[in-house]
Structure 1
């Protein structure tokens, strides 16, 4: 969350522990989204990359996930000032000296290792940084949602580091560099300054004395931000972090297999008793719901085709239920299922559960449509000049009087029996009790489910 959001939280540790940054402080800079530290080491970029492009062969600047002395950078003013204690402020031009190698951070018009359109970040010796490369070592501090003259602070002062001559933002990503960079993250200059992944913050100030007055905390006033502004920021953050869950998992699955229940998720096993909990769902109910989704789509297509040919096979009431009631449930299924095809995150079968619930509603509505018998209305019960029946409630006994519901009851009984039977058959996998023999496990591998204890 942005510092502005966090300042509305009374017990927020990040805001409470923020410390003002002074010039000549040694700082550790951390990327907000990947949690990688700005890092450098004596190794050089290779002269030529795998795609044939050449580098400057300068000192590598990378992103490193752990605390390390090579993450320490001294923040230096553009104009040397012997007076210590001057605070760094928003929009200040600064230089960053890598403490361990005594070199200065620099960006220039050389392509980065992975992105030909992004600038390389490297460091240069102090004699070059004070000479003809001076301008290339200038960077601007831009605090997110900051005001002119606002003090730059650790933890809460999220910022973008803008290379002053070229106006690119320091940026990193999670794709690791090759072995020559020890699989660390690439740091480069991003031309898209508005991109939210350009944001960094100062994680620590290793050089600050423990008795510094800057560490003395004063009572903080909790700020107020409009509710909708906080709500939209929270939604954006949730969507981003949810979509960032991209690591692999042995039981992850793709959306196209969910309606067919091709595999489940193993939650728990007990070797000595051969017990296991395997999230699968009831295959009978699952396949019935999925198949009736296709039946519904077929009925809609057939009705539309018939209407185009001048054949009206449905009465007004039946069509209204088919398109409005059942159609609403079908739309709910689609809205809860289809967006997963646009996601790049790690997915599991349980992500289909809301859509499966909607498909069960489609099943009930469609079965009611198929087996329902409309009451026969005489002329007295029809509104004159209208095809629709009057809005008058009729008791079920009167509405269905004299009609044979045997088929409806038989279908309902068959479906309920099959669903209960499927639930009972897979009960040992659902609740993890009792343990199953090899033959019993094999009997439940209907579609080759990857169950344990099958041997």
Structure 2
């Protein structure tokens, strides 16, 4: 196909397969090229012709038609596999119990806590809003969906995020220099993997995570494609698309940080290479840094923070997640009991004290005594609200306060006070007796009965650390907004929560000590959470505003703490969990629902052709890369430098993406599941297509296409063979015993 311009020059169409693995910077995107044929006319005539008789050539080249057909086929196939029989089961499946419920919290505007960032869960909530869901269904595992809950649309909404994976894999491979045939294979492998398909068909977060991950690597591939054309419009487009993708993927799940690591390493390497170019000027080099900082740091961070702002805005009612946040945040939630209480603390007030360290809870005591040491009453940290968390703030022994309805004596910064446990009337006490777990610190105990046994070791000085209210000229100790330390007057130590849990004799509650070193970290900081004093009026809401950034940081810290607490129980056999060693070889599948003979059953298992061949490709490609690196180090250059450099870049993106999304799980102490491997699998499937083409570059074009076609057909056939596990089956699992290819696959229960 030819198109003639006004100079009479001719432009040849791109040859089929011209975008091969040897291409460097070839623009192989699907686009229409419209060139007017009236450019040689006079301006006036040109305007008339454009208005009435303009003729355009909008035809596509052969390569572009091929790409368009491939993408349409992949999209239709992905749509069919993701949506087919999506309402097969009318029961809550697997983690729909969690994420469907989290979506309902957004519908009800009720604050909750979870380990994941909010974006994907807010999208689940959006799907529920679009169905008219009223938020009343509780999403209990295995529960039947009522008629008024449109679970099919909710699942379809999620499945919509699974559809783009295949076409985005196709364009990613094109941008990295692969031929259309190899790109088609990569997209097809992603499309017909049973595990990637299954995970997209339920109300879960993984389809969104995978979609945003694929967006990130697609954007990175576009940035790679235009790496030699910096500061052009396409380069800027891909750069900022990369930043937006990073913001989305990290806001869906923290696993998205692996994509940040991949793109960060790529960017650092690219800037390192650019620094070594003699023609590079420092001003231009500084510009490279500046635009990357803006696009790849500022943009993602802004998106991440804004997602939490929307999260807080939507969840304005008190709910099950209150206790994970600080007292001041809780006081700003609608329906919170912390709203209507006095602000300034007076002598005689009944209070509770919360540690600044999230998860350590409130200062607590009970009638049980320490089994050794002083054998006095235990002082602990307790996370639940309880009457044994109540303390009365009083003056030191020998001093009285004269509160009346007209005059009240307030507690100020620097005052020396006593804290008397409301339930047992024991004084908060410390002495030169070693603590029970933190042996370098002093024990804190409950001693005496109010003033019946006066002891100077009951005295503590209030030291204000931070005042979150702008209006406090009298330096009063205040509810919620004052952060302070309690220094023991005699031992000169600080009341501290250690983060350790006491043994069963203290009900495994948090250890409280008196820090002899006088540490000034957050473990020694406290705030007053609840305050009861009938002589005082309620606080002005203006004094109880919780700064957004402070709440943002606190929530992320709580998420990290909860995530780290998800450790496997070594004494419990859990058939749902798996280890990173199991994933590349597909050693285990995962039952995600009840397994009765008449139940609709789903088994989360990958396509063996995709998983096993991609794992082989990763292993072979890694060894081959090391082999050629050693040979080049010895001066043996089998591959021309430009082609070798391109191979390093592409391998760094695909093989590096697999490694960064897989290997960190070996270092994690938390419990792991099969679906944690899915982002790494996405990279491995694309790398398989790439490495086949790389190693068949000397083969005839027909032979290469036959090889790619054979693998693609095998993957499709395997998908169809394992389709009952993906789309659901309601007959006994023993009828599928022929599909048990490994002895470790728990398709059916073994007879006893």
- TM-score norm. by structure 1 comes to 0.75
Q: 1:341, 1:142 → 2: CA distance? A: 44
Out of 361, 381, 395, the position equivalent to 1:63 is 381
CA contact (8 A) 2:363 2:380 kept: yes
For 1:342 and 1:167, locate their aligned partners in 2 and report how far apart those are by CA, in whole Å: 37
Q: What secondary structure sits across from 2:366 in the alignment?
A: strand
Residue 28 (structure 1) aligned with residue 352 (structure 2)? yes
Map 1:265-276; keep pairs closer than 5 Å.
265-269=590-594, 271-276=596-601
Once residues 162 and 281 of structure 1 are traced to their aligned partners in structure 2, the CA distance between those partners, rounded to angstroms, is 59
Find the residue that maps to 1:120 and give its secondary structure. Answer: strand
Deviations 1:220-275 (A, max 9, x none): 696776x7x87666655543443333364822333333333322333212525143
Name the one with the larger strand percent. Answer: 1
Q: 2:729 aligns with which of 433, 436, 439?
A: 433
Measured in 2, the distance between the counterparts of 1:4 and 1:264 equals 43
Equivalent-residue separation in structure 2 for 1:188 and 1:19 (angstroms): 29
Q: Secondary structure at the match of 2:626?
A: helix
Q: Which has the higher helix share?
A: 2
Separation in 2 of the partners of 1:60 and 1:66? Answer: 17
Match of 2:494 in 1: 168
- Conserved 8 A contact 2:365-2:379: yes
Provide the C-alpha distance between the structure 1 equivalents of 2:526 and 2:748, rounded to a whole number of angstroms.
45
* Distance change (3 Å), C-alpha of 1:270 and 1:3: closer
Other-structure match for 1:243? 564
Q: Could you tell me how far 1:121 is from its partner in structure 2?
A: 1.7
Aligned residue for 2:359, secondary structure, equals coil
Give 1:125's aligned residue: 448
**Aligned mates of 1:100, 1:316 — CA distance in 2:** 79
Give 1:446 deviation, angstroms.
1.9
Which residues in structure 2 correspond to 1:55-94 (within 5 Å)?
55-78=373-396, 80-83=400-403, 85-89=408-412, 92-94=415-417
Cα offset, 1:408, TM superposition: 1.3
C-alpha spacing 1:288/1:238, structure 2 compared with 1 (3 Å)? same
For residues 412 and 346 of structure 1, do their structure 2 counterparts lie closer, same or farther at Cα, with a shift above 3 Å needed? same
Alpha-carbon separation, structure 2, partners of 1:22 and 1:246? 44
CA 1:36–1:167 in structure 2 vs 1: closer, same or farther (change >3 Å)?
Answer: same
Instruction: Flag the 1:89–1:449 CA change in 2: closer, same or farther, 3 A.
Output: farther
Residues in 1 aligned to 2:695 and 2:362: alpha-carbon distance in whole angstroms = 63
Q: CA deviation at 1:125?
A: 0.6
Residue correspondences, number: 412
Q: Distance in 1 between matches of 2:734 and 2:676?
A: 30
Is the alpha carbon distance of 1:68 and 1:308 closer, same or farther for their aligned partners in structure 2, counting shifts above 3 Å? closer
Report the Cα offset of residue 445 of structure 1. 5.6
The answer for the alignment partner of 1:138 in structure 2 is 460
TM-score, length-scaled by structure 2: 0.48
The 1:214/1:93 distance shift into structure 2, 3 A limit, reads same
Q: 1:328 to 1:308 in 2, by over 3 A?
A: same
Deviation of the 1:345 alpha carbon? 2.7
Q: Deviations over 1:256-299 (max 9, x none)?
A: 33333322333212525143223232232122222221112101
1:98 aligns with 2:416: no
Give ranges in structure 1 of 5+ residues lacking alignment. Answer: 48-54, 374-402
> 1:196/1:127 Cα in 2 relative to 1: closer, same or farther (>3 Å)?
closer
| Distance verdict in 2 for CA 1:222–1:176, change over 3 Å | closer
Partner residue, 2:720: 424
Partner of 2:701: 405
Q: Which range moves more in the overlay, 359-368 or 432-441?
A: 432-441
Aligned counterpart, 2:606: 281
The 1:292/1:358 distance shift into structure 2, 3 A limit, reads: same
Quickly say closer, same or farther: Cα 1:333–1:138, change in 2 above 3 A: same
Unmatched runs of 5 consecutive residues or more in structure 2: 1-323
CA shift digits 1:339-365 (9 cap, x unpaired): 333333332222222222222232222
Deviation at 1:143, TM superposition (A): 5.0
CA contact (8 A) 1:293 1:359 kept: yes
CA contact (8 A) 2:467 2:482 kept: no
Q: Could you tell me whether the CA contact under 8 Å between 1:428 and 1:434 is conserved in 2?
A: no
Shift of 1:162: 4.6
